[in-house]
Amino acid sequence: MNTNFIKKFLYGDYGEIKAGGPSSAKKTEWPLWEIFIRSKQGLDHKHVGSLHAADAQMAIENARDVYTRRMEGVSIWVVESKNIHASNPDEAEALYDPANDKVYRHPTFYDLPDELKHM
């Protein structure tokens, strides 16, 4: 398999900047941060986007201004993008396929009489 022409640009969304494509970013550019927001107590933090900031404190403050102007959140997580490691979409098949043939993991696999209640 010739993968030479598969260019990868691992910026933004899924981090790993250092492993990424051509970067013309000068040293002066603030690092990139991925922003996760909990919209309501009881819910998970969800990825909402990214932004640049000099440090974590500033990333949180900017995230408040950029992503929660309409009360979209009650809690913010920031993670520097380069610290996020992602699975490779080219390996998706091998990675997720084994789950396909294990239908017995689903409750609908089991054939039980209709009289059986509360199960």
Partner 1 sequence: MHVHDLETTFQDKIDNEIRIEPKDWMPEKYRQTLIRQISQHAHSEIVGMLPEGNWISRAPSLRRKAILLAKVQDEAGHGLYLYSAAETLGISREEMYDQLHTGKAKYSSIFNYPTLTWADVGAIGWLVDGAAIMNQVPLCRTSYGPYARAMVRVCKEESFHQRQGFEALLHLSRGTEDQKKMCQDAIDRWWWPSVMMFGPSDDESPNTALSMKWRIKRFTNDELRQKFVDVCAEQVKILGMTLPDPDLKWNEEKGHYDFGKINWEEFWNVVSGNGPCNKQRLDTRKKAWENGAWVREAATAHAEKRKAKEAVQAA
| Footprint of partner 1 (CB under 8 A) | 1-3, 5-14, 20-26, 28-30, 32, 48-52, 54-55, 58, 65-66, 69-70, 86, 88-90
CB of 41 to partner 1, least distance (A): 22
CB of 57 to partner 1, least distance (A): 8
CB nearer partner 1, residue 8 or residue 40: 8
CB of 83 to partner 1, least distance (A): 14
What is the sign of the dihedral through the CA atoms of 113, 114, 117 and 119? positive
Strand, helix or coil at 28? Answer: coil
Strand partners, 46: 37
